[in-house]
A = this chain, B = another copy of it.
Amino acid sequence: MLPSPKTASFPTIQEIWEQYRPDLLKVESQIQKSLASEVPLINQIALYILNSGGKRIRPLLMILSSKLCSSHQGEDHILLAAVVEFIHTATLLHDDVIDEGNLRRGKKTARTLWGNHASILVGDYLYASAVGHGLSLNNQEVNLVLQKACGHMIEGEMVQHTHNSDLGIRETDYLRIIQHKTASLIAASCQLGGIAGGGSAERKESLFQFGQNLGIAFQVADDTLDYIAQKQRLGKTLGADLKEGKVTLPMIHLLRTCSDEGKRQVIRTFGSDGSSEKQFDQILDLMHRHGSIEYAFSVARGYVEKAKGFLAAFEPSVHRTALHVVADYVVSRDH
């Protein structure tokens, strides 16, 4: 295949995946190797979800962050990428039980196939296993970064639940929640890449900030796609957040800008299990008319630009370019 004219100046996300495939394959191999429970069913369930089509964004960010810092190149970033993917997978397993989710990425969730108990326990196992593999590096800095990220993720999830069906939630509260529940682990992935690559304290902090802003952008985009993505691409039911009572940025914007009649319409629809496709379409129509979808994407893009700003401290390189491309990708994927 001939490279497209664009390739010479700025690679596409597909070209980035190709370029770093050798490292990503090492991560895949590490994931398989690290899953070594004596209980075959634990490995089976964990592999089912680990291999269910996740894009390995966190491992890719870790690899790129590590290479961005590194003159010497060890293999710690490969192990740490598997660790972070284990933690991410543990949260998916628990989230599915919490949200009573039946589909994820277009496939049946583990709880649908094996039951809630298996999802909870395999999630617990993956987390404990991640801690164990992290400990094997005997690096207290690594341990503390991972532990802090996990604490924040769980706190973010908990605060999100206390705001369930809270139509009065403010944009700042929403952003703080997603900073904790989503951006913490993405920030940690970048920071750990910096640690594995032997980066200076300043560079590791820049990578953390890059990841944190990118993580916020990622979740804002994800929440917005929940309203507008094509069903087959999203791999789950459209409007799931609306049905579950999750108030995300497009809705916060809508409620801030629409008329009282619009608000009443939202209240009637919101959190109603039986809300029809027609009701959903009406809400979506309101959002389009008030520019709520466009607003949410503009916020996401703003965080992407802020994230990129933290890369300015690094000299230009293929790895820095790749991080820019990945950053743009997280707010443009699937639509």
Contacts and interface: CB of A to CB of B under 8 A. Distances in A.
Interface of A: 37-39, 41-42, 94, 97-98, 116-118, 120-122, 124-125, 127-129, 131-132, 135, 138, 140, 143-144, 147-148, 150-151, 154-155, 157-159, 161-162
A246 to B, nearest CB: 12
A95 to B, nearest CB: 9
Count identical subunits in the complex. Answer: 2
B158 A121 contact: yes
A131 B94 CA distance: 19
Contact of A98 (B94, B121, B161): B121
Contact of A155 (B98, B125, B148): B125
Nearest to A135: B143
A97 B144 CA distance: 29
A41 B154 CA distance: 12
Contacts of A118: 158, 161
Contact of A120 (B37, B42, B98, B135): B98
B97 A116 contact: yes
A128 B151 contact: yes
Contacts of A124: 94, 127, 150, 154
A189 to B, nearest CB: 17
B159 A39 contact: yes
B131 A117 contact: no
A162 B41 CA distance: 9
Ranked 6 nearest A-B pairs via Cβ: A98-B117, A128-B150, A132-B147, A125-B154, A124-B154, A39-B155
B37 A125 contact: no
B125 A97 contact: no
Contacts of A94: 120-121, 124
A134 to B, nearest CB: 9
B116 A98 contact: yes
6 contacts: A41-B158, A41-B162, A117-B161, A118-B161, A127-B128, A131-B150
Contacts of A143: 135, 143
A147 B128 contact: yes
B125 A135 contact: no
Contact of A158 (B98, B122, B135, B161): B122
Contacts of A42: 154-155, 158
Contact of A121 (B117, B122, B147, B157): B157
B157 A132 contact: no
Contacts of A144: 132, 135
A161 B122 CA distance: 12
Contacts of A161: 117-118, 121
